Structure 1
């Protein structure tokens, strides 16, 4: 493709940056990352999908990466869901949606509540309506810790990431980390996402008194209405989605396929990219294989 970097229109025209890969007429697959990530989280996945004839469209969710920030602080799940619905509706056919964490929550709400029938299938990456409070607290705590004050250097940011992901080899700042940081006039480096996003999550969690209940009732109701093909992928060592949460989800969505990725935490894609790729490709080929452009 001549220009893989595009800007798409989310809800009410909100500017959403995206990276596309694969044949123009290939079956479209939208990829929505987790909170605090960007479209780069799917780099190896989009290449794999493209090789198999899919048209991969990796998004920067609102307030993240190169997408526009919400001046009105509109970072509720329904806002992210509205963007996904708008983008899906702009394509020439219904896309498959793969959503990790925040992207998956938005997918559940989009298909189960906002606009049923928007997607051809839904893959949820280590996310269910029921979440472990400790896992939610750890994720939110990491994002909030340096949201306002930033870092003195990329190496400091790399150290903080290593402490958050102790199971991965420690390393100094790489060129890839530069895509997640912004150097501001004060000489400090800040995450690429809008601090108002995490402020909103912390405020809502405080109001509920339990970080595990991220709209669980509403999300559970939306999940129970999912009629399209669904695939739940769990990190085998996830501290956010427990086996009990999986059982709860499978009771809500009994037709859902299920994959458990061994030796992967909540950060499934980064921990076990090859195994994750095999799992999503198997589901997509079984579900949409006959629709892939030659």
Structure 2
């Protein structure tokens, strides 16, 4: 166990049921309402940096983490990854919080949240925010993501080359990532080349199992009882009107807000609007931020 403190956050290690270490960051440890952020496949806790910082300023205790095989968290020995491991990790982290957290889950993180919320009674979550994901997704959008993840097994010669490839993949972003922004996302190999932070072995196990998870996800969604907000991107290729409509039939008490200019990467494309919607949702639960909220 290690702990490193900065003016706005504390980073520590959490241990999974099978003994791996997960990198966990807490902002505003004395905040009133706990938000637990679960990132998407191939991302890190850094994907939430802007949103978590803004919501911590608004009075929330914000917990972000690197999933197993991602970022600074441990990789599975032998590369045997299974969806159930990620479900167990999320449940472990939820139960470790001082109160049932509001889960904010993007893509894979949202799907894991649906499984936990729908299958565990009572739910370890106070509420759910799903970020551009539904139990049935658009295959073409997911295939585009996976194609990018598989496109550079040889890595990159330098940070400039990596930034160029990200800019091609995310043309809607106006600014290219700097070396400082890219450093947490890349690892230098023994050959001196830079490769993505995630374990490539995940592409086999997790992706292979994801399609088989859809019936389970549909069943779990129909059993979710806690308040739920679905945030979708108007320019997303992962969810659509059809998948959103189907989801709202499964979970009739769910709220839905579309951010019209965002793609699948909501927090990165429209962070201010994204955080505003979460503030409003948490306010609706019990007025957690009070009347002084700067974003409400």
TM-score (norm 1): 0.91
Alpha-carbon distance between aligned partners in 2 of 1:184 and 1:83, rounded to the nearest angstrom: 28
- Distance apart, 1:238 and its partner CA: 0.5
Alpha-carbon distance between aligned partners in 2 of 1:56 and 1:203, rounded to the nearest angstrom: 32
**Could you tell me whether the CA contact under 8 Å between 2:36 and 2:101 is conserved in 1?**
yes
From 83, 92, 98, the counterpart of 1:86: 92
From 253, 273, 282, the counterpart of 1:284: 282
Alignment CA distance shift 1:216-1:239 (3 Å): same
Alpha-carbon distance between aligned partners in 2 of 1:204 and 1:84, rounded to the nearest angstrom: 18
Alpha-carbon distance between aligned partners in 2 of 1:115 and 1:86, rounded to the nearest angstrom: 15
- Distance apart, 1:66 and its partner CA: 0.7
**Could you tell me whether the CA contact under 8 Å between 1:33 and 1:99 is conserved in 2?**
yes
Q: Which digits, 9 at most, give the CA deviation of each residue in 1:130-167, with x for residues without a partner?
A: 11111011011111112x32112111111111111122
Alpha-carbon distance between aligned partners in 2 of 1:59 and 1:252, rounded to the nearest angstrom: 29
- Distance apart, 1:44 and its partner CA: 1.3
1:144 paired residue number? 150
Q: Which digits, 9 at most, give the CA deviation of each residue in 1:36-65, with x for residues without a partner?
A: 111111111111111121100011111111
Matches within 5 A, 1:104-115: 104-113=110-119
2:204 paired residue number? 199
Indicate whether 1:168 and 2:166 are aligned.
no
**CA-based RMSD:** 2.1
Alpha-carbon distance between aligned partners in 2 of 1:115 and 1:65, rounded to the nearest angstrom: 31
TM-score (norm 2): 0.90
**Could you tell me whether the CA contact under 8 Å between 2:38 and 2:104 is conserved in 1?**
yes
Tell me whether 148-157 or 242-251 shows the greater mean CA deviation.
Answer: 148-157
Alpha-carbon distance between aligned partners in 2 of 1:53 and 1:171, rounded to the nearest angstrom: 31
- Distance apart, 1:113 and its partner CA: 2.3
Alignment CA distance shift 1:116-1:219 (3 Å): farther
Alpha-carbon distance between aligned partners in 2 of 1:35 and 1:289, rounded to the nearest angstrom: 32
From 70, 91, 97, the counterpart of 2:103: 97
From 141, 158, 164, the counterpart of 2:163: 158
Alpha-carbon distance between aligned partners in 1 of 2:66 and 2:158, rounded to the nearest angstrom: 24
1:210 paired residue number? none
Q: Where does structure 1 lack aligned partners over 5 or more consecutive residues?
A: 206-212
Alpha-carbon distance between aligned partners in 1 of 2:82 and 2:198, rounded to the nearest angstrom: 15
Q: Which digits, 9 at most, give the CA deviation of each residue in 1:238-288, with x for residues without a partner?
A: 000001100000001000111100110001110000010111111011114
SS of the residue 1:237 aligns to: coil
1:73 paired residue number? 79
Indicate whether 1:217 and 2:238 are aligned.
no
1:48 paired residue number? 54
SS of the residue 1:195 aligns to: coil
1:208 paired residue number? none
Indicate whether 1:264 and 2:270 are aligned.
no
- Distance apart, 1:174 and its partner CA: 3.0
Q: How many residues align?
A: 285
Alignment CA distance shift 1:277-1:34 (3 Å): same
Alpha-carbon distance between aligned partners in 2 of 1:151 and 1:175, rounded to the nearest angstrom: 16
Alignment CA distance shift 1:55-1:45 (3 Å): same
